[in-house]
A and B are shown apart, each in its own frame.
Chain A
Amino acid sequence: MREAVGTRSYPQGTETYVYEEVDLYLPEEESESSLLQKVGQAAMIVSGAALVALAARRAWPSGSQTAQRLTERTSEALAPAPIETAVTIGKPKAELYAFWRRFENLPQFMRHVEEVTDLGGGRSHWVGKSPLGFKVEWDAEIVDEREGESISWSSLPGSQVHNTGTVTFEDSPNGRGTVVRATMEVGSVNPVGQAVGKALSSVTEQQVREDLRRFKHLMETGEIPTIDGQPAGARHLINIRNPF
């Protein structure tokens, strides 16, 4: 998989998005409609910088009143479904909790988070990885915490990305380690409209699931599997044929 960057234009400006691209080889020539379907699939399936994309839109110059109005209007229409996903990790919950609670560690497995700084007193400052140098930052605070069991957080007012969430660590009932469960609500600061917002929230769910999977990789093996940087023969220059 590799990351590809594209742009979309909206009346208010241009948005940059990132998606991961994988070829699906089908031997027969595709019709245009199946190609379009696959583009659609690609957009649905792959995770993107969804959080970051949301934030990037939020980061438009505040003078853009249209954007502001749109944001307000659509935020009501867009009751975001909470994201909930879980993974079982073959390590004791105390170890997992301790690693997570040290927020500086999170960028090691959260693909779209560049840096987290613990500000003390349960507060933290987050910097998102954003395409084309958009700086996406927000502050969060712990709203509830049970040592070794769970952490709940919420972004603070004035943040570019609004999100609340809880991560819990429970012993697996059948002795397979720890069930790590993440529940999150992201966004509603989204001028793109309900349909797109819905699609994005599904992408975001995928992203959270991927982050949890990388957390598992890192905790169980000490590394995250990768093929980035391995050799390959000549690739297609422009990957029109197989966008998925």
Chain B
Amino acid sequence: MRAVCWNGPTDMRVETVPDPEILNRKDVIIKITSAAICGSDLHLYDGYIPTMKKGDIMGHEFMGEVVEAGPEVRNLKAGDRIVVPFCIGCGQCWFCQKELWSLCDNSNPNAVIAEKMFGHSPAGLFGYSHLTGGYAGGQAEYTRVPFADVNGFKVPDGMADEQVLFLGDIFPTGFMAAENANIQPGDTVAVWGCGPVSQFAIQSAWMLGAGRVIAIDRFPERLLLAQTWGRAEVIDYEEVDSVIDTLRDMTGGFGPDCCIDGVGMEAHGTTMDAKYDRAKQALRMETDRPHVLREAIMACRKGGTLSIPGVYGGFVDKIPMGAAFNKGLTFKMGQTHVHRYVRPLLERIEKGEIDPTRVITHRMGLDDAPEGYKTFRDKEDNCIKIVLKPHGNGHAHHHHHDHGRMEGQRDHGHSQKGRGDDQETM
């Protein structure tokens, strides 16, 4: 089959690899009908997540059709269409039983490595480094899904792939971000970054009773989407002297009640600390650039909550812990417990409460994925979200290179001005 393989920083290649096989009795093999490139894939693309190996198959946001089921799979059979959470749960351990799915004790075959780095191992993840299991991802024609009864969510007939694809990651991630922000009715929620996860966090903040949403980014198309689809007030951080002062002024001195860092480890900023981070990360003296985290701590109202869906991988520097402590902030964070949210959010989509396809700007075949990564990373061509169609229009079959390029919503003919080396996304 064909698969998008990591070959080093900024070096994705579409390679021919063996088809996946059932390795454990609760596995299924699915034929991927749609896969997305996630903002967090860009951390791998840029080489900031350790324990990647040349040849690793990318992709943790995908869905498809079951083509083969292991002998102990009870609830799925060939032909079922499923969407798959990016984190792999076993369904049996203490953490899965508590619905802390991304902390599953039994799905990471490389738990020993994660323990060295984090003290304890989180769940295995698809296509996200060997630290979290080294599972082959879904930016491929086929993939294997372990503990399939737990990790395969059937999709109702009549729902298009693109309506449900993001239930595997970014919609639940945005929703959990809003939930973690402890929004009380009427609260002001500030969201850093207007990438896909933040867009869903904005949508979810309204669902959970926010009175006001303020979104911060610098790319016009992203700010525009936050304004139009997300009904958010927006701050272009390149246009203001200080995001912190701007937020303070906008909230009559209080500061936002709830702050969501939808950016994570590769934040950009115009302030001194952001430049310090870039230099330090470039010298490998710091793994993460926590500019947004610092800004959110300083901006958040006293006693407020900081929710962090943006990915952090290692060590951060110069965190104003004194501010966090003396203002009595609450921090909530972590990889999303996707399984918790799939069904409730699916219902919201079915009821028409939200149209997840609004974030999609590009659709392409697998062969264009390496270029897609670059486009997405550099925010070229107004790119917000890319959906890959590994089997072209869906009628291709095994082992053929039928990657018909789908028409994007936007005109690909005109390219935006160079966006430099910027990577503000989630």
* Residues in chain A within 8 A of chain B (CB atoms): 1, 22-28, 45-47, 88, 90, 176-177, 206, 209-210, 213, 216-217, 220-236, 242
- 22 cross-chain CB contacts under 8 A: A1-B134, A25-B8, A25-B51, A26-B284, A45-B116, A47-B112, A221-B92, A221-B106, A221-B147, A222-B72, A225-B24, A226-B23, A228-B23, A229-B21, A229-B23, A231-B3, A231-B19, A232-B53, A233-B7, A233-B13, A233-B17, A233-B55
Interface residues on B, range: 35 or more
Evaluate contact between B17 and A225: CB separation under 8 angstroms: no
Interface presence of B18 (CB below 8 A): yes
Which of chain A's residues have a CB closer than 8 A to the CB of B147?
221
Interface presence of B361 (CB below 8 A): no
Known pairs A27-B47, A225-B109, A233-B17; list 16 more (Cβ under 8 Å). A1-B113, A22-B130, A45-B112, A47-B112, A90-B94, A176-B94, A210-B112, A221-B26, A221-B93, A222-B72, A225-B24, A225-B90, A230-B21, A231-B140, A233-B54, A236-B53
Interface presence of B404 (CB below 8 A): no
Q: Known: A221-B106, A228-B23, A233-B57. Is A24-B1 also a contact (CB below 8 A)?
A: no
Which of chain B's residues have a CB closer than 8 A to the CB of A47?
112
A230 to B22 CA separation, bound complex (whole angstroms): 9
Interface presence of B329 (CB below 8 A): no
Interface presence of B146 (CB below 8 A): yes
* Residues in chain B within 8 A of chain A (CB atoms): 1, 3, 5-9, 13, 15, 17-21, 23-26, 47, 50-57, 72, 88, 90-94, 97, 105-113, 116, 124, 130, 133-136, 140, 144, 146-147, 284
A24 to B49 CA separation, bound complex (whole angstroms): 9
The residue in chain A whose Cβ has the minimal distance to the Cβ of B146 is: A225
Q: Known: A25-B50, A233-B54. Is A220-B93 also a contact (CB below 8 A)?
A: yes
Evaluate contact between B90 and A230: CB separation under 8 angstroms: no
A23 to B106 CA separation, bound complex (whole angstroms): 22
Evaluate contact between A177 and B94: CB separation under 8 angstroms: yes
CB distance from B323 to the nearest CB of A (A): 32
Q: Known: A23-B130, A90-B94, A225-B24. Is A230-B144 also a contact (CB below 8 A)?
A: yes
A184 to B116 CA separation, bound complex (whole angstroms): 22
Evaluate contact between A25 and B53: CB separation under 8 angstroms: yes
Which of chain A's residues have a CB closer than 8 A to the CB of B133?
225, 227
Q: Known: A1-B110, A232-B5, A232-B55. Is A216-B284 also a contact (CB below 8 A)?
A: no
